Structure 1
Amino acid sequence: MITNPSPALDALLRDAAIRIDATDARWLLAHAAGRSQTWLFAHARDPAPDGVAARFESLVARRAAGEPVAYLTGVRGFFGLDLAVTPATLIPRPETELLVELALARLPAEHARVVDLGTGSGAVALAIARKRSDAAVLATDASSEALAVARANAQALDVPNVRFAHGDWYAPLDSARFDVIASNPPYIEDADPHLSQGDLRFEPASALSSGADGLDAIRVLAAGAPAHLAPGGWLLIEHGLAQGAAVRALFENAGLVEVATERDLEARDRVTLGRAPGLQRAG
């Protein structure tokens, strides 16, 4: 019996690039083949291994329908970490790495106490904990499904200095105080049309939007920070590009000092930070 030969890997990529972004196609073909992109490049003219073409076609069809690549592959890179992600978690984005960098720069020299509120996949908490193995990091989330993903990431990446707690914002903290409170909360306006477009359609709504002006969660975070910051401790929150002034006002109304907004690599307002009065411990 004569069987049709498998198409070459580069032919699969060419055909897919008509329907989806070429970079996305390479990620999905590597995933379908269970190989790296380097392997894909080296074997571009080889016939596709058994089953790869069919798996790849299924992934391309789902991507063409708008499903995010990160959910299709189950992995997203962040701050040098390969994180598992699912539709229960927000997809970590490169701009959030600024939040991690700013938080790391404000930790005491030793034995820092850090909390990541609304951790999702654990991206911020795990990035900080990996860089500062002496730090005691707590990660919280109101979603038990998201916390399960974060816990699995901590185990897979062998990051032992992170604890997890289930609950909404400050609720799981009791009277604990921290040197740094970091959060990438929902901050999109509820009526923003982008929520029904592109990748955002597939991400958890609770991790994206927060009230008519997008600031409901940030109001809670700013108001509750003084009760959970150590003297001189820092609150750092990621937010939307048009929200810098409003977030600074919320920080100042909460009694924080040295309030400022930092911009991302595209010169857009991205993270606002403020310090609790008093001297931060040296370590």
Structure 2
Amino acid sequence: MKINETYREVLKWASSFLEEAGQDSLAAEMLVRERLNWSKTDFIVHLDHCITPEIKQQWVVDVKQHSTGIPIQYLLGYEWFFDNKFKVTSDTLIPRPETEEIVDKFLKEAPKKPLKIVDIGTGTGVIAITIKKKRPEDDVTAIDLSEKALLVAKENGKNLQVEVRFLLGDLTEPVEKEQFDVIISNPPYIGVDEKKYMDDSVLNYEPELALFAENEGLAVYQRLAKEMPVILKPDGQVFLEIGFKQGPAVKAIFQEAFPTADVTIEKDMGGQDRLLKVKL
């Protein structure tokens, strides 16, 4: 190992290594910053400082593993969502910025009164836990079909000190005798036939259960449309994340399920269809 090597020198190697492997070279800086809990400014200040052998060794291991396609979040064991650190494992989907946008829309539009809310397909628990942290007066339930994912969600709830009810089960089945003011979900919506277009890091490392649905990705929406009317209060609302090509199809499914409701599709910051809203 080279003696008196600086962060700048190791960064140059790490960036080139990732680029040659077909990965984003910017990940090199992110990996070491997250390991050291440094801001961008912290990193810049240390660029010409000598790196310790221990820090370099961890950085090299991380870079080499990421070069094979392993997502950064699985290497680190967490992802940030609404400025909170959520544990992620190979049993959970990595939270996406698009989901943050949907939670943000809900938080901005929700009435200022206690609500009973259910998050269906909670995964890491980011939706349910974030809502509970922002709106502690709400009664929040989170459901998932995966027992392993639910264990991760429970751990995140404990770490972030919120009281969310976590239930194991298939879609609305665990709460079929209850009613809610709000149903919110980021369900599996990628069609099985779309696998050939997807990034290998997603296909090889993220759980298929949380990604794919039959019938061109519409199968879960079709089930939810049948099950939701029973558990949604007469003045309730639905917030559903959707695939960017699914707007018209999902809108038609839910307009049929809620004939008198206001069913709308909203776009994300990239201008793509991303959110279906039902307002009774």
| Deviation at residue 98 of structure 1 after TM alignment | 2.3
Aligned to 1:263: 267
Contact 1:194-1:200 within 8 A present in 2 as well? no
Contact 1:107-1:179 within 8 A present in 2 as well? no
Which of 180, 184, 189 lines up with 1:178 in the alignment? Answer: 180
5+ residue gaps, structure 2, are 19-23
Deviations 1:183-203 (A, max 9, x none): 001100102113462334310
1:17 lines up with 2:21 in the alignment: no
Aligned to 1:244: 247
| Deviation at residue 129 of structure 1 after TM alignment | 1.1
Alignment map for 1:141-152 (pairs within 5 Å):
141-152=144-155
TM-score w.r.t. the length of structure 2 is 0.92
**Matches of 1:99 and 1:4, distance apart in 2:** 48
Contact 1:178-1:230 within 8 A present in 2 as well? yes
Residues 35, 265 of structure 1: alpha-carbon distance in 2 compared, 3 angstrom cutoff: closer
Aligned to 2:97: 94
| Deviation at residue 264 of structure 1 after TM alignment | 0.4
Residues 35, 80 of structure 1: alpha-carbon distance in 2 compared, 3 angstrom cutoff: closer
| Deviation at residue 106 of structure 1 after TM alignment | 4.6
Moved over 4 A (4+): none
Contact 1:116-1:124 within 8 A present in 2 as well? yes
Amino acid at match of 1:261: I
> Which range moves more in the overlay, 103-112 or 86-95?
103-112
Amino acid at match of 2:131: I
| Deviation at residue 4 of structure 1 after TM alignment | 4.5
Residues matched between the structures, number: 272
**Matches of 1:234 and 1:169, distance apart in 2:** 17
Aligned to 1:133: 136
Amino acid at match of 1:141: D
**Matches of 1:101 and 1:35, distance apart in 2:** 26
Alignment map for 1:137-216 (pairs within 5 Å):
137-160=140-163, 162-192=164-194, 193-195=196-198, 197-216=200-219
Deviations 1:128-150 (A, max 9, x none): 11111100110110111111111
Aligned to 1:114: 117
**Matches of 2:165 and 2:232, distance apart in 1:** 18
Aligned to 1:234: 237
Contact 1:98-1:271 within 8 A present in 2 as well? no
The percentage of aligned residue pairs carrying the same residue is: 34
Contact 2:176-2:230 within 8 A present in 1 as well? no
Aligned to 2:276: 272
Amino acid at match of 2:184: A
> Which range moves more in the overlay, 227-236 or 103-112?
103-112
**Matches of 2:231 and 2:2, distance apart in 1:** 66
Aligned to 1:280: none
Deviations 1:156-185 (A, max 9, x none): 11123x111111111111311111100001
Residues 113, 106 of structure 1: alpha-carbon distance in 2 compared, 3 angstrom cutoff: farther
5+ residue gaps, structure 1, are 277-283
TM-score w.r.t. the length of structure 1 is 0.91
